[in-house]
């Protein structure tokens, strides 16, 4: 009787080992449709990190190079925004406050007006205009003092807008500031008039910033921005080139990088305050709020879930940088810096039991050559996020495949459309997707795919194939 028992045990162990081997193969190998797409793109499997796991944590469907440290591009925003929801809460709002330091005599302020910021990522011109109306409603019309900008919530550190790609004029290269106004960008609308042979240039937001328009030409509209010959100076911009009548009306969004944060804020404030009937001829400078200053009014931002929706659906890098420093300021109770924000993210992951020695955080937006994370770390974070009380707010911030955000034009004709909330990421030599797929089986999966290779830009087919495969086979 013992011999058959040994044979049964041996057979059982063999069967068990085969099952384990099969499970390992399932968890390790990429689906053939994905591997084939990578091969066509000339991307080797060793350049790709993939991690797919059921959100209940029971089934790891795919894990290919799961621990490899990779550049995640904009999928890094998922770490920053998820941490913010957890640590700051879904009702968190930024406050921008207005103080006076002086005497108000009728509608004349004999003293300084002070703005104190907390890093609001969405203090756009419309909101700032309403904030100034609140100040006017408090009875202040003429300011016979100076304007003081208190941005001490973030540490004043050197920032090079040309560091990432050598193109400081691009709005996505704007650095963080606790009193960031309108993303510190200017929009120039060019309106040609063939009747009188001129070009009118409208500036948004309205600012005390001189604009010298270009001359009208009859050339073609190709490469119209470079033909403008923009010359940026602290006092204004000169368009020394030409603008073609065939272009019609067009808008150019740019960062006037020659202006400091203070100079930009001053230019917009002076114009808007004047437009509201206010008078101000003093100086504008950075400073801190005196202890005896009196609060006049404050502006509260939209809630955090609304902000992270903009960050994730439309991949707003400037807002993500603001959010990372906000985390540092609020969690560590110290002026926000990227380094302190990175410490907060690493500590937050560790508290969830996710040890990520490969994690490198430079600015929290993914617009970086240095940031690194593994597919497994990102995937485990997504699984934990699904179990979080703020899961609905987080998932709703991700682009819906085939419908909106950066996924609106992808997978429209595939059955996974409308079934995947996915953040995209793309840099030179980098392509990534990360998010959730609701499979046809009714099971939900966290999915991460990060490609780092010179041919990464050809990896879209493989990413889409993976999303569709998980929908069909998950």
**Within-domain flag for 216:** yes
**Within-domain flag for 65:** yes
pLDDT in tens, 342-401: 999 999 999 999 999 999 999 999 999 999 999 999 999 999 999 999 999 999 999 999
Whether residue 338 is found in the same domain as residue 353: yes
Q: How high is the pLDDT of residue 18? A: 37
Average pLDDT over residues 175-192: 97
**Within-domain flag for 428:** yes
Name residues whose C-beta falls within 8 Å of residue 36's C-beta, 6 or more positions apart in sequence: none
Q: How high is the pLDDT of residue 28? A: 57
Alpha helices in 293-390 (DSSP H): 304-314, 317-331, 338-351, 375-386
Is beta strand 294-300 parallel, antiparallel or unpaired with respect to 95-105? antiparallel
Whether residue 367 is found in the same domain as residue 346: yes
Whether residue 287 is found in the same domain as residue 309: no
- Provide the strand spans (E) within 194-229: 198-204, 210-212, 215-217
Residue 184 region by backbone torsions, left for phi larger than 0, else alpha for psi between -120 and 50, else beta? left
Whether residue 319 is found in the same domain as residue 239: no
Whether residue 323 is found in the same domain as residue 433: yes
Whether residue 265 is found in the same domain as residue 309: no
**Within-domain flag for 4:** no
**Within-domain flag for 227:** yes
For the record, the structure tokens of 23 come out as 């499970």
**Within-domain flag for 181:** no
Whether residue 224 is found in the same domain as residue 116: no
Whether residue 396 is found in the same domain as residue 440: yes
Whether residue 210 is found in the same domain as residue 325: no
Q: Residue 274 sits in a domain of what CATH number? A: 3.50.80.20
Q: Residue 448 sits in a domain of what CATH number? A: 3.40.710.10
Whether residue 333 is found in the same domain as residue 397: yes
**Within-domain flag for 9:** no
The number of folded domains in the chain is 3
Average pLDDT over residues 425-431: 98
Average pLDDT over residues 129-142: 98
pTM for the complete prediction? 0.92
For the beta carbon of residue 122, count every other beta carbon within 10 angstroms.
19
Of residues 342 and 9, more confidently modeled: 342
pLDDT at 5 over 50: no
For the record, the structure tokens of 224 come out as 């119209």
Whether residue 458 is found in the same domain as residue 444: yes
Residues 382 and 437: their CA atoms lie apart, in Å, by 11
Whether residue 439 is found in the same domain as residue 369: yes
Measured in degrees and rounded to the nearest 5, phi and psi for residue 54 equal -60, 140
pLDDT at 13 over 60: no
pLDDT in tens, 147-174: 999 999 999 999 999 999 999 999 999 9
Q: How high is the pLDDT of residue 240? A: 97
Q: At what angle do helices 317-331 and 77-88 cross, to 10 degrees?
A: 40
Q: What is the domain extent for residue 311?
A: 21-91+305-473
**Within-domain flag for 117:** yes
Cα distances (Å, whole numbers) of residue 224 to 106, 122, 229, 243: 51, 30, 10, 7
């Amino acid at each position: 009787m013992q011999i058959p028992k040994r044979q049964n045990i041996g057979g059982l162990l063999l069967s068990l080992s085969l099952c384990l081997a099969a499970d390992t193969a399932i968890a390790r190998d990429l689906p053939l449709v994905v591997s084939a797409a990578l091969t066509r793109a000339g991307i080797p499997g060793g350049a790709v990190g993939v991690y797919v796991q059921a959100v209940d944590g029971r089934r790891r469907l795919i894990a290919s190079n799961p621990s490899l440290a990779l550049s995640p591009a904009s999928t890094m925003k998922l770490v920053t925004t998820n941490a913010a929801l957890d640590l700051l809460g879904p009702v968190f709002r930024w406050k921008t406050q207005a103080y006076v330091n002086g005497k108000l005599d009728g509608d004349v302020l004999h003293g300084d007006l002070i703005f104190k910021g907390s890093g609001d990522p969405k203090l756009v011109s419309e909101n700032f205009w309403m904030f100034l109306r609140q100040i006017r409603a408090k009875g202040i019309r003429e300011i016979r003092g100076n304007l003081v900008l208190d941005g001490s919530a973030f540490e004043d550190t050197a920032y090079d807008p040309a560091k990432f790609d050598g193109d400081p004029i691009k709005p996505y290269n704007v650095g963080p500031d606790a009193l960031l106004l309108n993303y510190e960008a200017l929009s120039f609308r060019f309106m040609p008039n063939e009747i009188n042979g001129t070009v009118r240039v409208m500036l948004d937001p309205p600012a005390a910033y001189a604009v010298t328009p270009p001359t009208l030409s009859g050339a073609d509209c190709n490469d119209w921005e470079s033909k403008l010959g923009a010359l940026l100076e602290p006092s204004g911009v000169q368009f020394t080139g030409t603008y073609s009548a065939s272009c019609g009306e067009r808008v150019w969004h740019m960062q006037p990088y020659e202006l400091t944060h203070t100079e930009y804020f001053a230019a917009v404030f002076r114009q808007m305050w004047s437009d509201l009937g206010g008078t101000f001829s003093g100086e504008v400078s950075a400073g801190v709020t005196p202890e005896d200053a009196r609060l006049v009014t404050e502006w509260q931002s939209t809630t955090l879930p609304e902000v992270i929706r903009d960050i994730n659906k439309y991949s707003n890098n400037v807002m993500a940088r603001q959010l990372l420093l906000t985390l540092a300021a609020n969690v560590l109770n110290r002026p926000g810096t990227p380094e302190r924000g990175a410490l907060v993210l690493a500590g937050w992951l560790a508290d969830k039991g996710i040890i990520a020695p490969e994690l490198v955080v430079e600015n929290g937006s993914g617009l970086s050559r240095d940031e690194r994370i593994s597919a497994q770390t990102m995937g485990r974070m997504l699984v934990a996020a699904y179990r979080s009380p703020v899961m609905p707010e987080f998932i709703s911030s991700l682009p819906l495949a085939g419908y909106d955000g950066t996924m609106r034009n992808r997978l429209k004709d595939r059955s996974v459309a409308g079934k995947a909330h996915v953040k995209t990421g793309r840099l030179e030599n980098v392509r990534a997707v990360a998010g959730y797929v609701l499979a046809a089986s009714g099971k939900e999966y966290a999915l991460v795919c990060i490609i780092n290779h010179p041919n990464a830009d050809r990896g879209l087919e493989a990413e889409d194939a993976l999303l569709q495969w998980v929908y069909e086979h998950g």
